[in-house]
Amino acid sequence: MLDRTARTRSGRRPTLATIAQSAGVSVATVSKVVNGRDDVAPDTRALVEDLLRRHDYAPPSARRTPATDGGVVQFFVHGELRAYSTQVIDGVLGGAEEAGVSVAVGKLPADLSHEPSARSWARDLAALGRSGVIVVTGELTAAHVDALGHVGLPLVVIDPLNLPRREVTSVGSTNFTGGMTATQHLLHLGHRDVVYVGGPATSSCNRAREHGFRAAMEAAGLRVRPEATVATDEFAYEPGRRAGELLLDGPYRPTAVVAGCDSIALGVMEAARVRGLRVPDDLSVVGFDDTELAEVSTPPLTVIRQPLREMGRVALKTVLRMAAGEQLDSHHVELATELVVRATSAAPPAPPAAAPAG
């Protein structure tokens, strides 16, 4: 009896003929199922779909070198769409317009840590004819990466929170330099009680920014207390506000904060406002990103600027080069950050005057 569930023993990728033989149907029937035709009996469709999954079948269109002209790149956002990712998307769309390709935007599925579900997800992308995949600040798993590699879809990650494989291509900024520059700016203003409020402790970009903060403090001969670095669970406003409350209500009140992103900085500023503290008179704050929020905040936020739109543009060009089979000079690209001084950083408040001798 024919083993209908066995993988190809040669180790070669399965073909429509392989699936058809296993199912005991014609190649034309399998092709109809792969292409979503509805003129196939339900029981036959279910059998063929099960075999496609078991054999990890990927359409030939996904395995050949995709044409960049007129293709579609899939862009995934991790979590909620915020000002940061909106500016990155704008850059991706600008690059796509220049290259003559389209971009499909969606949310990165969060439940793909298991290989079968990840491979099903990747096969669906391949079946849609995607030329490549871009993920922004995504919590990628090894299952994501392996599944995309299996169907031949190139992957580029922007500002990755983590990289499960060293060979994953990424586009980011000089996070370490940015964290150091932000801290040096505050030190030059005269601050000595500076803290870093960042995002998730496991985030690679957050770790680099914190290391830059530490490097600047240590170079100035200042000890970094344990309470001088705070990790939040997300690069977002509300975690920043909660962190600000803890800092400003604690025994060690800083005169300046380096924030891991603009949203965290704004949350810290709100915590200060509620407590009657003025920014920058009583507390200086420096953000990281330079999203549109930085310019419209009150007062306008001093930031380390990431070239977010350019990062998106570079990611788009890179994934298309990979799709065309080109060799990359580097799998990791870092674009320069820069300090933009606005109105939330100033010299620290003067210490209270000593009481006159009695």
Could you give phi then psi for residue 195, rounded to 5 degrees? -125, 160
Q: Is the pLDDT of residue 10 over 50?
A: no
Query: Closest Cα to residue 301, out of 313, 311, 289?
Result: 289
Q: Is the pLDDT of residue 4 over 60?
A: no
Q: What is the mean pLDDT of residues 228-241?
A: 96
Q: Who contacts 351 (Cβ-Cβ below 8 Å, separation ≥6)?
A: none
Other C-beta atoms lying within 10 Å of the C-beta of residue 81: 12
Confidence of residue 32 (pLDDT cuts 50, 70, 90): confident
Q: Is the pLDDT of residue 353 over 80?
A: no
Q: What is the DSSP string of 71-83?
A: -EEEEEE-SS--H
| Distance (Å, whole) CA 96 – CA 92 | 6
Query: Closest Cα to residue 237, out of 347, 100, 82?
Result: 82
- Per mean pLDDT, which range of 111-125, 230-244, 262-276 is the poorest? 111-125
| Distance (Å, whole) CA 83 – CA 88 | 9
Return the bridge partners of 317, or none. Answer: none
Q: Is the dihedral of CA 43, 47, 53, 57 positive or negative?
A: negative
Mapping DSSP onto H, E and C, the string for 154-215 reads CEEEECCCCCCCCCCEEEEECHHHHHHHHHHHHHHCCCCCEEEEECCCCCHHHHHHHHHHHH
| Confidence (pTM) | 0.80
21, 40, 46, 79, 287 from 54: Cα distances, Å: 14, 20, 12, 31, 49
Return the bridge partners of 139, or none. Answer: none
22, 119, 135, 157 from 193: Cα distances, Å: 70, 50, 37, 35
pLDDT of residue 96: 94
Question: What domains are defined for the chain?
Answer: 16-57 (1.10.260.40), 67-173+309-335 (3.40.50.2300), 175-306 (3.40.50.2300)
197-233 per-residue burial string, b: 16 or more CB within 10 A, e: under 16: bbbbeebbbbbbbbebbbbbbeeeebebeeebbbbbe
pLDDT of residue 288: 98
For the chain, percent of residues with pLDDT exceeding 70:
89
Q: Is the pLDDT of residue 31 over 90?
A: no
Helix (H) or strand (E) holding 263: helix 262-274
pLDDT of residue 168: 92
Q: What is the mean pLDDT of residues 324-339?
A: 93
Q: What is the mean pLDDT of residues 92-102?
A: 93
Most confident residue range from 125-129, 167-171, 204-208, 297-301? 297-301
Q: Are strands 284-289 and 256-259 parallel, antiparallel or unpaired?
A: parallel
pLDDT of residue 315: 97
